[in-house]
């Protein structure tokens, strides 16, 4: 019981910390909106092992390049897919096996192309960081993006990632449609459900139905304050998307049904809304 309680407390503390960090950083727009381009992938390798949903081992061949950017290369390299974070197998976390299985189906024992970013060649564990591409049916697939789009991986954006905006769009699509890891708890929940079992839903994908009390405009975006202290937050740089689609006609008393990731902050539970596709319904104006 003590171990379980410790794990639950760790989860809720992480949810609060990540929620605060997420809200603090979301106001800064990405510096690049580049699309994945296989022509930037200068390394070719054979995949020899799949460790989990975001890490593989590759064989660069006997005549492999000795360096790339500022790092030396070995024939066999453990590669961490850049910009994403799949569930951990060691715990194991929910959807970890499915994420590994998807990556296996995409690249196992196949020849891939690796795009390594200058000055961001390795992580703290010495793994080569790369965007991975696989060719299937005369078409190049951006593997990092496919994992995010399928809900098999979350985003892991440290600093400015080359494909940050592209990956974020895929992430929003996966969350809005409750794919993969974001569909652990299907159906619709209420504020009462969240408070009744806060640990269950922390950092999980949910679709919540809630009544709006008021809206507040802040320097970083729009806060939609709802019953029970629940909040939606739309980052400032994303507001034009909602204005164009007429999705900001939100008044007190209206009922909203929205999908997103639940985070606990010092002011209570919050779901960030990055795109109108996360809003499934607005209605019930008194």
* Residue pointed to by tokens 């970083």: 220
Annotation says 115 is catalytic:
no
Q: According to the model, what pLDDT value does residue 22 have?
A: 40
Classify 101 as helix, strand or coil: helix
pLDDT for position 67 = 97
Q: How far apart are CA 170 and CA 117, in angstroms?
A: 21
Check residue 161 and give its pLDDT.
82
Q: What is the mean pLDDT of the chain?
A: 88
Percent of the chain with pLDDT over 70: 86
Residue 57 CA to residue 108 CA, distance in Å, equals 10
Q: How many Å is the Cα radius of gyration of the chain?
A: 21
Burial class (CB in 10 A: 0-12, 13-18, 19+), 207: buried
- Mean of the pLDDT values across residues 162-187? 97
Written as six digits, the tokens of 70 are 């500022």
pLDDT digits (tens, 9 = 90+) for 98-128: 999 999 999 999 999 999 999 999 999 999 9
Question: Is 80 an annotated catalytic residue?
Answer: yes
Domains by residue range for the chain, with CATH: 2-28+189-283 (2.40.50.140), 38-176 (2.40.50.90)
Of 113, 127, 178, 238, catalytic: 127
The pLDDT of residue 247: 64
| Tens digits of residue pLDDT in 20-51 | 334 333 333 344 448 999 999 999 999 999 99
Q: Which of 80, 149, 162, 178 is catalytic?
A: 80
Strands (E), 91-194: 111-115, 128-136, 139-142, 154-155
Task: Give the residue among 269, 152, 267 at the shortest CA–CA distance from 210.
Answer: 269
**Sign (positive or negative) of CA dihedral 40, 43, 44, 50:** negative
- Widest distance between CA atoms in the chain: 71
How far is Cα of residue 2 from the mean position of the Cα atoms in its chain?
Answer: 31
Instruction: Give the per-residue pLDDT at 285.
Output: 56
pLDDT value for 91? 87
Tell me the torsion sign for CA atoms 244, 247, 248, 249.
positive
Which pLDDT band holds residue 160 (cuts at 50, 70, 90)? low
Q: Residues of the chain with pLDDT > 90: what percent?
A: 77
Note every long-range contact of 242-245, with CB atoms under 8 Å and residues 24 or more positions apart, other chains counting: 242/276, 245/276
Bridge partners, 131 (sequence order): 115
Residue 185 — very low, low, confident or very high, per pLDDT cuts 50/70/90?
very high
Q: Which of 31, 72, 75, 88 is catalytic?
A: 88
Q: Is 146 a catalytic residue?
A: no
């Amino acid at each position: 019981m003590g171990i379980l309680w410790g794990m639950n407390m760790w989860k809720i503390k992480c949810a609060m910390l990540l929620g605060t960090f997420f809200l603090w950083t979301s106001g800064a727009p990405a510096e690049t909106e580049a699309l994945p381009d296989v022509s930037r992938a200068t390394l070719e390798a054979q995949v020899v092992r799949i460790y989990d949903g975001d890490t593989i081992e590759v064989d660069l061949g006997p005549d492999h390049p000795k360096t790339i950017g500022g790092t030396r290369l070995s024939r066999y390299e453990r590669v961490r897919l850049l910009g994403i974070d799949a569930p951990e197998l060691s715990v194991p976390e929910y959807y970890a096996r499915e994420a590994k299985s998807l990556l296996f189906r995409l690249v196992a024992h196949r020849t891939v192309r690796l795009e390594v970013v200058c000055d961001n060649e390795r992580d703290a564990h010495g793994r080569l960081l790369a965007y991975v591409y696989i060719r299937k049916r005369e078409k190049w697939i951006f593997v990092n993006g496919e994992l995010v789009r399928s809900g098999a991986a979350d985003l892991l954006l440290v600093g400015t990632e080359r494909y940050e905006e592209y990956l974020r769009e895929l992430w929003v699509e996966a969350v809005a449609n409750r794919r993969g890891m974001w569909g652990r708890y299907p159906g619709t929940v209420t504020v009462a459900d969240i408070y009744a079992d806060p640990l269950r839903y922390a950092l999980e994908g949910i679709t919540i139905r809630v009544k709006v009390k008021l809206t507040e405009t802040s320097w970083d975006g729009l806060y939609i304050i709802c019953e029970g202290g629940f909040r939606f937050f739309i980052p400032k740089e994303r507001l034009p998307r909602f204005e164009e689609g007429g999705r900001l006609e939100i008044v007190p008393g209206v009922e909203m049904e929205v999908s997103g990731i639940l985070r606990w902050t010092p002011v209570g539970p919050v779901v960030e809304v990055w795109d109108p596709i996360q809003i499934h319904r607005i209605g019930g104006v008194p």
